Structure 1
Amino acid sequence: MPRIQAPTVAEHRARQRRAILDAARALLAETGAAPTLAAAGERVGLARSSVYQYFPSAEALLEAVAADVFPTWSARVLDHVASVTDPADRVWAYVEANVTLFSGPEQALAQALRTVMDPAVLHEHSAQLHARLQEPLIDSLSLLGEPETGRMAELINATVLRASQNIEADGVAAVLGLLDRLLRPYLDARRADR
């Protein structure tokens, strides 16, 4: 029996599960392919049979990776938005946080997940992320007096997504500059009307 490297068995299992998830996440980002249980186990020094104690299949491991990363991504955006109080600045913080997320190392992981996961399962995680992120954006737009908050939030999201599609070639500053020129007049006008 392997040695327990934690004060309790439950904590040991939690650490092992975390290590397997991190290994699968890294393999997915590095290769763009779904990691096998054997490859994830090898990365953390576990036999494939030991990995089965935590995940019954490669599909279950992939779904666990998605379930793990989507809340992390959401928290990054929400924390950045929460760091400011003015509604117009919160909308801009939302834009900045999303562009930063699109430009970061997590994009390789997001692309790989889109490639290897069942679209229905991935859509479920994406829809939850989208709904959670929409809340502070819609709230900020409402505080700015926007009469069509839902539609405007969708338009802002689509604009950020489209502007970020060439982020590797253009760079973060160029994408944010473009979005600033497009959105700043709207935000300033809404702020002035309050």
Structure 2
Amino acid sequence: MPKINAATVAEHRAQQRAALIQAATDVLVEQGAAAVTPAAVGARAGLARSSFYQYFPSSAALLAAIVEESFTAADAATTRALVDVDEPAARIDVFVRTELALAARGMHRPAKALMQADLPRECLDRVHELHRHHYAPLQEAIALLGADADELTGRLVGGIVQAAMTAVEHGADPDSVADRALALVRHGLTPPTAERSDEPGAAVAHE
């Protein structure tokens, strides 16, 4: 059993539980949801298998805990980054850059593994619910810009962000990827305008 320094029994149990969740998350990312078993997780955390059941009644319960934990830190980081940003276009920029910074730290890998896993239906539904909640600030900013078909536009922008995150997770520079992704997003969210006066024939059209 790993040495844990805690002032109270409650703190000790909280640390043990956190150790199991972290061990399970590592197993999930490396080997998939099927490998998240009491024996594997207990061994990874340095705890006896019997200790596992003091905190979680089953592997499914542990996966449910990972579902919640996997979004908590990302949500908190996004909230902090956006707290003083009001203008919709600026909120989109900050959201995307924050997502890619988190991706560079590997913080999205558990959520991605969960979304690709063969989870119990209630767990999978919860993953998608939390994913929608996490992306709500981006979707709201897009809607405030008045983009046409904002629900579809939001999904398309989300696809760009997901592709950018994958690139970062494979080693690409987060700032460079963010610059390119945001250039595409800004272009896509720019509403069509009337023919510009510097284009051929424009002057005739306005006479």
- Report what 1:118 is aligned to: 119
% identity of equivalent residues: 35
Query: Which residue of the other structure, out of 170, 177, 180, is the alignment partner of 1:175?
Result: 177
CA 1:138/1:26 → structure 2, altered by over 3 Å: closer, same or farther?
closer
Which residue number corresponds to residue 29 of structure 2? Answer: 29
Cα offsets for 1:25-77 (capped at 9, x unmatched): 23333444623322332344421112111111222222211221122223223
* Equivalence map 1:1-194=2 (5 Å): 6-32=6-32, 34-118=35-119, 120-146=121-147, 148-167=149-168, 168=170, 170-185=172-187
Range moving further from structure 2, 137-146 or 58-67: 137-146
The 3 A distance-change label for structure 1 pair 135 and 163 is: closer
For structure 2, list consecutive stretches of 5 or more residues without a partner in the other structure. 193-207
Distance 1:169 1:17 in 2: 32
**Amino acid in the other structure paired with 1:176:** A
CA shift in 2, pair 1:104/1:122, >3 Å: farther
| Amino acid aligned to 1:46 | L
Contact 1:32–1:109 (CA under 8 A) maintained in structure 2: no
Q: Which amino acid aligns with 2:145?
A: L
Amino acid at match of 1:26: D
Q: Provide the rounded CA distance (Å) in 2 between the counterparts of 1:134 and 1:109.
A: 16
Task: Please report the RMSD computed on the Cα atoms of aligned residues, expressed in angstroms.
Answer: 3.2
- The CA distance in 2 between the partners of 1:142 and 1:112, in whole Å, is 29
Residue 137 of structure 2 aligns to a residue whose secondary structure is helix
- Whole-angstrom CA distance in 2 between matches of 1:121 and 1:106: 23
Which of the two has greater helix per residue? 1
Normalising by structure 2, we get a TM-score of 0.71
AA in 2 matched with 1:177: D
Quote the offset at 1:128 in angstroms: 1.9
Structure possessing the higher relative contact order (Cα contacts under 8 Å, 6 or more residues apart): 1
What secondary structure is seen at the aligned counterpart in 1 of 2:40?
helix
* Shift of residue 157, structure 1, vs aligned partner: 0.9
Q: Indicate if the aligned counterparts of 2:67 and 2:127 stay in contact, CA closer than 8 A.
A: no
Q: What amino acid is aligned across from residue 160 of structure 1 in structure 2?
A: V
- Please give the alpha-carbon distance, in whole angstroms, between the structure 1 residues aligned to 2:172 and 2:22: 30
Provide TM-score, normalisation by structure 1: 0.75
Query: Which sections of structure 1, spanning at least 5 residues, go unmatched?
Result: none
Work out which of the two has the higher radius of gyration on C-alpha atoms and give 1 or 2.
Answer: 2
Amino acid aligned to 1:17:
R
Q: Amino acid of the residue matched to residue 113 of structure 1?
A: L
- Counterpart residue type for residue 183 of structure 1: V
Distance in 1 (alpha carbons) for counterparts of 2:82 and 2:160:
18
In the TM superposition, residue 138 of structure 1 has moved relative to its aligned partner by 3.5
Which residue identity is paired with 1:132?
Answer: H
